[in-house]
Amino acid sequence: MGRKVIVAVCTLNQWALDFEGNLNRILQSVQEAKEMGALYRTGPELEISGYSCEDHFYEPDTFLHSWQVLAELLKSSTCKDILVDVGMPVQHRNVSYNCRVAFLNKKILLIRPKMMLCEDGNYRESRWFSCWTKERQIEDFFLPRIITSITNQSTVPIGDAVISTKDTCIGFEICEELWNPKSRHIPLSLDGVEIISNGSGSYMELRKAYVTVDLVKSATFKSGGAYLFSNLRGCDGQRIYFNGCSCVAVNGEIVSRGLQFALHDVEVVTATIDLEEIRAYRAMIRSRCHLAASNQPFPRITVDFALSDDQDMFLPVSTPIEWKYLTPEEEIELGPACWLWDYLRRSGQGGFFLPLSGGVDSTSTACIVYSMCTQICEAVQKGDPVSVRLHSVRSHGALQQIACHLASEIGSYHFSIVIDSAVSAVIGIFTTATSLVPKFRGKGGWRPGGLLVLGSSNVDEALRGYLTKYDCSSADVNPIGGISKTDLKSFLQYAKSRYYKRHQRLN
């Protein structure tokens, strides 16, 4: 029997109610996880629907479309021969739950509802969801017909249970359960669960990253085990920014991690775990063993599947790494900039309009926009091109082949689209309505979309009421609205040393 397993945690930039886009990003993450050799993939909280659907969680369509996305995942060959768990909303006996759904080879193994909801900060989960209060209990969940037609299952277990494979045992926490004083990973580890997965929706706050990392490390320090933390990234429609930091911890040490801030929509991080190291670590903690001997067991869902391979003797194990934290100035530079890019590209606008007074606030906002542009340019230079050839019936076939060949050579994701029908339809409608034939006014055209107006009011002004009385409260977005004046002054000193010298070198 093998002893080493490769697991994958995913950071996804999902969008509330973008079911098709969310599906594609999930499939891409599964594909990348398989290419890296992982046999278990876990993702962020509510990744199918998007976390910030808010009152759309009251609508039956939100649940229906989530099941439709899950149906596509079950049918996809991409999800074959890999254990996958995803986050989605589920209604059971007319009660809405925030759930993890684990499946393997067109079979749903377990629906695990969230047991502790978050109500602080910008969270108000109990407005839409209820927590599962039946500890160590499962019930029958009756599947929708669109799922039954794929899985040939009419019911599946829902509740507080774990998954037992041929070689290990997998348990679940969901976001707030890690922060809660009565965390579920303690009784899970005492019951022999060796891999604990946490799909999270944790957003950015200055100086918060170390809190999450310390909690993930401590989850396995006292009781041993592997902890898989997957978080969302980006602006999914709300004013908050999910800041990644997906990671894997083993026996109190971080062995693999993702980026805190980045522009790419999908990031997959893997770790190779030695199960025997977990067992040896636990065996040496005698007080833990005495507690485990009397621990009440969890219901186990037995699966005829192994995460390890018999030929894994020479597979290198992931070793502990040092987590390098960003300074508050670096977080201000990168976090709001990534949020602005997400908001801009999804709003369909052409850029920003900033009333620049030259003070600390508006200057900080301008520097954040500059940081956004810098990150975009760096991402373009690294290359992730998408090319499209819009050809007509008059186009030469050889040119089409050349375009496809060139796209393949440069590694571009290429589309070849015939546009004759679309062009004829637009011209026909315009001519019928106006009796005119549209002609291109070719002096460079014009930039599509308007401009988003940026506000520049720090958190101190908002708290004092200055924002609504005298400041630019009519702006579309305010990227520094949660940052104090003191932090902004420090950020400008940092930005001066970072960008002014760079600008001098470029000139």
Domain tally, the chain: 2
| pLDDT attached to residue 301 | 98
- Cα angle, residue 156 at apex, residues 151 and 162 outer, rounded to 5°: 115
> Is 276 noted as a catalytic residue in this protein?
no
Q: Is 164 in contact with 302 (CB distance < 8 Å)?
A: yes
> Rounded CA gap, 409 and 330, in Å?
37
Given the DSSP bridges, would you call strands 107-113 and 300-302 parallel, antiparallel or unpaired? unpaired
Helix or strand holding residue 422 (H, E): helix 420-434
Question: Residue 72 class from Cβ within 10 Å (0-12 exposed, 13-18 middle, 19+ buried)?
Answer: middle
Please give the full DSSP string across 181-220, using - where no structure is assigned: TT-THHHHHHTT--EEEEEE-PBP-TT-HHHHHHHHHHHH
Distance linking the first and last C-alpha atoms of the chain: 62
pLDDT in tens, 236-272: 988 899 999 999 999 999 999 999 999 999 999 999 9
- Count CA atoms closer than 13 A to 456's CA, side-chain side: 19
- At 278, list the tokens: 């977990």
Q: What secondary structure does DSSP assign to 35-63, as a single string?
A: HTT-SEEE--TTTTT-GGGGGGGGSHHHH
Q: Are strands 95-104 and 83-92 parallel, antiparallel or unpaired?
A: antiparallel
- Both 293 and 414 in one domain: the answer is no
The mean pLDDT values, 10 residues at a time, for the chain of 507 residues are 91 97 98 98 98 97 99 98 98 98 99 97 96 98 98 98 98 97 96 98 92 95 96 92 96 97 96 97 95 95 95 91 95 96 91 85 91 91 63 60 55 62 80 75 56 88 65 79 94 89 55
Q: Are 238 and 52 in contact (CB under 8 A)?
A: yes
- Domain-ending residue, one of 267, 302, 337: 302
Structure tokens at 483: 């940052």
29 is catalytic: no
Domain ranges, residue 401: 328-441+449-506
- Residue 183 among the catalytic residues: no
Cα–Cα distance measured from residue 442 to residue 40, given in angstroms and rounded to the nearest whole number = 54
In this structure, the answer to whether residues 59 and 115 fall within a common structural domain is: yes
The reply to whether 274 and 374 lie within a common domain is: no
What does the alpha-carbon distance between residue 147 and residue 138 come to, in Å, rounded to a whole number? 20
Q: What is the pLDDT of residue 443?
A: 39
Indicate if 45 belongs to the active site: yes
Residue 149 within any structural domain of the chain:
yes
CATH of the domain at 74: 3.60.110.10
Candidates 53, 79, 169, 175; catalytic one: 175
pLDDT value, residue 125 = 97
Question: Same domain for 415 and 267?
Answer: no
Q: Could you give phi then psi for residue 464, rounded to 5 degrees?
A: -85, -10
222 & 343 share domain: no
From the list 154, 357, 421, 497, the catalytic residue is: 357
Same structural domain for residues 360 and 476?
A: yes
219 and 173: one domain? yes
Are 292 and 349 found together in one domain? no
What distance in Å separates the CA atoms of residue 228 and residue 232, rounded to the nearest whole number? 14
The one catalytic residue among 32, 45, 47, 177:
45
What pLDDT, on the 0 to 100 scale, is given for residue 449?
66
85 DSSP β-pair partners: 42, 102
* Strand extents, DSSP E, 377-446: 386-391, 413-418
From residue 220, alpha-carbon distances to 183, 234, 259, 468 in Å are 12, 28, 21, 47
Which residues are CB-neighbours of 68 under 8 A, at least 6 positions away?
Answer: 19, 146
User: What are the helix and strand counts (H, E) for the chain?
Assistant: 16, 21
Would 8 be classed as within a structural domain?
yes
Q: What CATH number is associated with residue 377?
A: 3.40.50
Are the CB atoms for 479 and 336 separated by under 8 Å?
yes
Which of these, 64, 27, 84, lies nearest to 145 by C-alpha position?
64
Do 294 and 371 fall within a single domain?
no
Q: Are residues 400 and 265 in the same domain?
A: no
pTM of the full structure: 0.87
Cβ burial 478-489 (10 Å sphere, 16+ → b, else e): bbbbbbeeebbe
CA-nearest of 94, 95, 100 to 114 is: 100
Catalytic residue among 4, 114, 318, 333: 114
- Which of 302, 319, 340 delimits the end of a domain? 302
Return the C-alpha torsion angle 137, 143, 76, 45, nearest 10: -50
Distances (CA, A) of 481 to 454, 494, 495: 11, 19, 18
Note whether 362 and 298 are same-domain residues: no
